[in-house]
Amino acid sequence: MERWLNAVWYGRAFGAALLRPLSWLFALAVALRRQAYRIGLLSSTRLSLPVIVVGNLTVGGTGKTPFTVWLVSQLAAAGHRPGVVSRGYGRGGDAPRLVEGASAAAEVGDEPLLIHRRTARPVAVGRRRAVAGRLLATQNVDVIVADDGLQHLALARDCELVLIDGERGHGNGLMLPAGPLREGPARLRKVDAVILTEGSGERSLAGRPVFHMRLAATGVLPLAGPRDTPLPLASLAGQRVHAVAGIGHPGRFFRTLRDAGLDVVPHAFPDHHVFTAADLAFDDDLPILMTEKDAVKCAAFASSRLGYVPVSASFGDEDARALLALVDAKIAAFAHRA
């Protein structure tokens, strides 16, 4: 079903017209919910710390997790004490909890676990992001980054950063389920900045500043054994490998490996797929490479065949300075109001 929907959203597969009535109902529900917050029928919780929301208009595949890792790392390097709140998609239970290095992805979610391990900063997960934020506030943090929080209006925010895939954009431009949009493109007029993944040219969208983000693989690390220095992807050029990806845009991962010269046998799984050993039981002895997000769920059956490819976000110097200055200004404005 997910593969068919992606073909409808981003390709020319038949079906969008059949789903349009459901899209109209979804769009109406989104508008009514936003209006309910606007007129006070529903209320947003304001935390005691500034909240920076990282989100997207579409369903997955925009590079949100690498960007969150980059932003948290940059804020920490600048002297802030950032923490992250997240829904923890796919985890068991709704109660808020802190993510630990030894946590299982099934308990806290794959993306929060990855973010915590990459940044070594506090991460709290919970269905109610405001409650998770209060828990996070006990961990000596001074700014909260809300991962995938754009549509979670129950949490008041001080800055909204929206990611757009520069290759796929808004797909067919339709709302769920006929298209990939959670909200219409007009929503961009109300955000603080747009982060364009692997895009070029645009400096403004809907009157909002655009910052251009690049994603780059940092090499290959073994899933089992020591993980000190990544093996350069180029050293595997010409090697035939199985490539496994359970992410929002698996094609980007496969293309990264092919661009490095690897002979890729692709295996796309649904986003947030819960892997089992049987999923990786290919009838040969070829190496198996996966994304870092998938790797955090496969430690229990790691073997010498399995490796993962961390991906890091980066910006040009000018964009990085301007984006961080924008975020710093929002943090300072919160402190001034407080």
For position 218, what pLDDT does the model report? 83
Tell whether the torsion through CA atoms of 50, 125, 212 and 318 is positive or negative.
Answer: positive
- The yes-or-no verdict on residue 1 having pLDDT over 80 is no
For position 229, what pLDDT does the model report? 82
Q: How many CB atoms lie within 10 A of CB 287?
A: 16
Residue 4 banded pLDDT, cuts 50, 70, 90? confident
Average pLDDT over residues 30-52: 96
* pLDDT tens for each residue of 68-112: 999 999 999 999 999 999 999 888 888 899 999 899 999 999 999
Report residue 68 as tokens. Answer: 């969150």
Nearest to 27 by CA among 181, 188, 153: 181
Check if the beta carbon of residue 314 is closer than 8 Å to that of residue 213.
Answer: yes
Four-way CATH pick for 24-215+315-337: 3.30.70.990, 3.40.50.300, 3.40.50.1470, 3.30.429.10? 3.40.50.300
Average pLDDT over residues 16-27: 93
| Per-position DSSP letters for 116-159, written without gaps between them | HHHH---EEE-SSHHHHHHHHGGGS-SEEEEET-TT-TTB--SE
For position 227, what pLDDT does the model report? 72
Q: What angle do CA 300, 301, 302 make, to 5 degrees?
A: 100
Average pLDDT over residues 310-330: 97
CA 24/CA 36 separation, integer angstroms: 18
Report residue 209 as tokens. Answer: 């500043």
Average pLDDT over residues 268-296: 94
- The yes-or-no verdict on residue 14 having pLDDT over 90 is no
The arrangement of strands across the sheet holding 240-245 comes to 221-222, 306-309, 288-291, 240-245, 263-268
For position 11, what pLDDT does the model report? 81
Helices (H), 233-314: 250-259, 292-295
Nearest to 135 by CA among 174, 98, 108: 98
* Stated pTM of the model: 0.94
For position 226, what pLDDT does the model report? 72
Residue 161 banded pLDDT, cuts 50, 70, 90? very high
Residue 228 banded pLDDT, cuts 50, 70, 90? confident
* pLDDT tens for each residue of 100-157: 989 999 999 999 999 999 999 999 999 999 999 999 999 999 999 999 999 999 999 9
**Average pLDDT in the chain:** 93
For position 337, what pLDDT does the model report? 86
Buried residues in 220-252 as b, exposed as e (16+ CB within 10 A): bbbbeeeeeebeebeebeebebbbbbbbbbbbb
For position 16, what pLDDT does the model report? 85
Long-range contacts of 283-287 (CB under 8 A, 24+ apart): 286/240, 286/241, 286/242, 287/236, 287/239, 287/241, 287/242
What separation in angstroms does the CA of 138 have from each of 83, 98, 141, 206, 332?
10, 11, 7, 38, 21
Domain edges within the chain = 24-215+315-337, 219-309
For position 197, what pLDDT does the model report? 92
Residue 289 banded pLDDT, cuts 50, 70, 90? very high
What separation in angstroms does the CA of 153 have from each of 3, 61, 129, 256?
29, 22, 10, 35
- The yes-or-no verdict on residue 61 having pLDDT over 90 is no
Report residue 336 as tokens. Answer: 């001034």
For position 169, what pLDDT does the model report? 92
Q: How many CB atoms lie within 10 A of CB 23?
A: 17
Report residue 65 as tokens. Answer: 């997790």
For position 189, what pLDDT does the model report? 96
Q: What is the DSSP letter of 260?
A: T
Average pLDDT over residues 297-305: 90
Average pLDDT over residues 56-69: 94
Residue 287 banded pLDDT, cuts 50, 70, 90? very high
Place of tokens 């109001």: 337
Residue 235 banded pLDDT, cuts 50, 70, 90? very high
For position 313, what pLDDT does the model report? 97
User: Beta-strand (E) ranges in the chain?
Assistant: 51-56, 82-86, 97-98, 123-125, 143-147, 159-165, 193-197, 204-205, 208-217, 221-222, 240-245, 263-268, 288-291, 306-309, 311-315
For position 35, what pLDDT does the model report? 97
Sequence-distant (6+) residues with CB within 8 A of 197 are: 62, 63, 67, 163, 164, 165, 166, 167, 213, 215
* pLDDT tens for each residue of 197-212: 987 777 888 999 999 9
Average pLDDT over residues 17-45: 95
Q: In 3-state terms, the chain is what percent helix, strand and coil (to 5)?
A: 35, 25, 40
